[in-house]
Amino acid sequence: MVAPLYTTASGLLFHAGKILVCTVGLPARGKTHVSRALERYLRWTGVKTTVISLGDYRRKVLGGAQKLPPDYFTLGEKSPETIKLREKVLQGCEQQIWDFFNAGGQVVIYDANNGTRERRNAVAEKFDKAGIHVIMLESLCDNEEIIMANIRSVKISSPDASISYRGWDPEQAVKDYYNRIKDHELHYEPVEETKWPFIRIINVGEKIMVNNIHGYLQSRIVFFLMNIHNRFRTIYFARSGQSLIEHSYKADSDLSPAGWEYAERLKEFVLERRAKSLEQRGINPTERRLVIWTSARRRSHHTAWPFLTKGPNDPAPPAKVKVFERPQMSEINPGVWDGLSPEQVRKYYPDEWERFVNDPYAYRAPRAESYHDLCVRLEPTLIELEREKEDLLIIGHASVIRCILAYLIGLPASEIPAIEVARGDLIEVVPTSYGVYSQAHHFWDGPGRAASGKDEHNFYENYAEDTQGKRRPEAKPGPDVDAELATAAAAAAAGVTSSAV
């Protein structure tokens, strides 16, 4: 997505060849979280990437844990039936990796324990012989709080555990799973061999060690992994309030009276919604900081001003709030089309209009930015987004919110211009280890909210209606996309709100 807009005969980017990233680590060490986050980032950079999960494949082929032999997950000697089943799963999973590479894929992240030298070396040697670069990605964790948090938030609710621990007391289920992990520790062999390049992550980003990493793409993988964490947080998105001059990019106008009213309502709604969410997780909202990002444009930054003042309806004590201006989050530059309606552009720039309609993502109007240019500009912001550990509210422009949502949800580039972001909707996104949960809440019907959520004279930023129904084939969710993810993506592209207040 942020890669150069070109194709190669091989379909591979950055002269990096094909790469197999093998995860290594005990259960509840954040391997799936790291794998999914890395997949999302590499896809954003334009690299054809997928995660092949041994656990997901085993559930697909053999069913849940309750259908497996009793010794399938235990250590030590295995029955002939168990050995046959495990070999079937391993071979099938490896075949999925070969199929992806043979279909033109560039990076596969093999999400499995790979806890013994013998097992991971066997996998690595097979693919190394075919000229595929192998990297071991080890996730170690000696922080008991992180391990217990992973067990509570991920493992006990995983497809296997949700059946195995059905009807259990949650604390007893956590204790039982923790004891199962302790058994695995007796046979775990950390990555100490230097035959293969490796990346070792300690405590999900607290410390990172690297060995024998070469080339641009492998270095980008390391750079990204240095900036991630797995702390629970919620990311909110809202458009800035109505400004005095809505249809001009050049006029950096202040909020209108309705815009200031909108800003006050946004503050009330966000604090109320966030307090409910945190209280449900047993967290005191007054003890956790809310970070707000705005652009340097007045209408965006001023929409955040009410969060810095105490009103009569504010909870006591006031919420901890920190506001940051980010110049990279300025809206897309419409160039010579600034302030023009679609009819005027069709009349004065017929050729450019035709090219724009054919490819709204990549086309750049005269002296303007394309959505591709905007995505490139936003990449440092996305890295900061991964680093942020607090709850985050982004008050921005529709074009910027589209790009960041597409990154989090996993939409292809061709979908970005088709995402409607209406003023008066709060979009709530919760990143998790197995995907992203998103929903939208409607809170405003005042001035500045058009029926279709767009401004006719600022269509270059808010152009969404004419791209719907003209999406490219790659926009369809693939078989590896979670159902929750696909639902969220479809809802975001259609501009649908999932709840209203």
Q: Is 142 a catalytic residue?
A: no
Residue pair 295/331 in contact (Cβ under 8 Å)? The answer is yes
Beta strands in 357-472 (DSSP E): 391-396, 425-432, 435-442
**CA angle (235 as vertex; 450, 202 as ends), nearest 5:** 160
Question: How big is the CA angle at 165 (ends 159 and 170), to the nearest 5 degrees?
Answer: 110
DSSP E strand boundaries for 150-212: 198-202, 207-211
In 3D, which of 10, 31, 25, 28 has the Cα closest to residue 109?
31
Q: Which residues are within 8 A (CB) of 484 and not within 5 positions of it... i.e. 6 or more apart?
A: 435, 436, 437
Nearest to 259 by CA among 419, 424, 392, 393: 424
DSSP H or E run through 381 = helix 371-387
Alpha helices in 186-256 (DSSP H): 216-225
Distance CA 406, CA 418 (A): 11
Report how far residue 374's alpha carbon sits from residue 47's, in angstroms, rounded to the nearest whole number.
18
Q: Are 34 and 91 in contact (CB under 8 A)?
A: no
For the four alpha carbons of 243, 244, 246 and 248, in that order, the dihedral sign comes to negative
How many C-beta atoms lie closer than 10 Å to residue 164's C-beta?
18
* Distance in Å from the first CA to the final CA of the chain: 35
Question: Could you give the 3-state DSSP secondary structure of residue 110?
Answer: strand
Distance CA 500, CA 241 (A): 19
Query: Could you tell me what percentage of the chain is helix, strand and coil, using 3-state DSSP and rounding each to the nearest 5?
Result: 45, 15, 40
Task: Give the strand pairing for 235-239 and 425-432.
Answer: antiparallel
State the catalytic residue, choosing from 56, 71, 111, 176. Answer: 111
Rounded CA-CA distance 171/378 in Å is 42
Q: Which residues pair with 239 in a beta bridge?
A: 396
Q: Return the active site residues.
A: 111
